Amino acid sequence: DTGVSQDPRHKITKRGQNVTFRCDPISEHNRLYWYRQTLGQGPEFLTYFQNEAQLEKSRLLSDRFSAERPKGSFSTLEIQRTEQGDSAMYLCASSLAGYDSPLHFGNGTRLTVT
């Protein structure tokens, strides 16, 4: 169990640029989640997958955000035409489909939009 891995750890981009983040979940976990956390706040739900199917997207996610999980393994989160308000920590988590299974979070990707 190597944990949830996220890449990159930090990303600085200029407003208007596109960025893509990657998440590799714990290998046997079939559920994958994306959350966003801003300074001093709890994480906010963005979207989640059961295997390769995207089950729900939060209303927080504008059309500039898209997430994929091809083949039910790793996932990518893309933000197009970044805005300064997108600056945050983007957290990926995975879990087993089970009633008492906690979400295991990665170390996150910190995005700064200048």
> Is-contact 22 73, C-beta < 8 A?
no
- Strand order from edge to edge, sheet including 75-79: 5-7, 19-24, 75-79, 65-68
Closest CA to 113 of 77, 80, 79, 85: 85
Interacting span for another protein (CB under 8 A) from 15-23, 50-58, 70-78, 79-87: 50-58
Sites for another protein among residues 14-33 (CB under 8 A):
31, 33
DSSP state of 39: T
CB nearer to another protein: pick between 19 and 106: 106
| Residue 103 is a binding residue for another protein (CB under 8 A) | yes
Q: Which residues bind another protein (CB under 8 A)?
A: 31, 33, 35, 40-45, 48, 50, 55-56, 91, 93, 95, 99-108
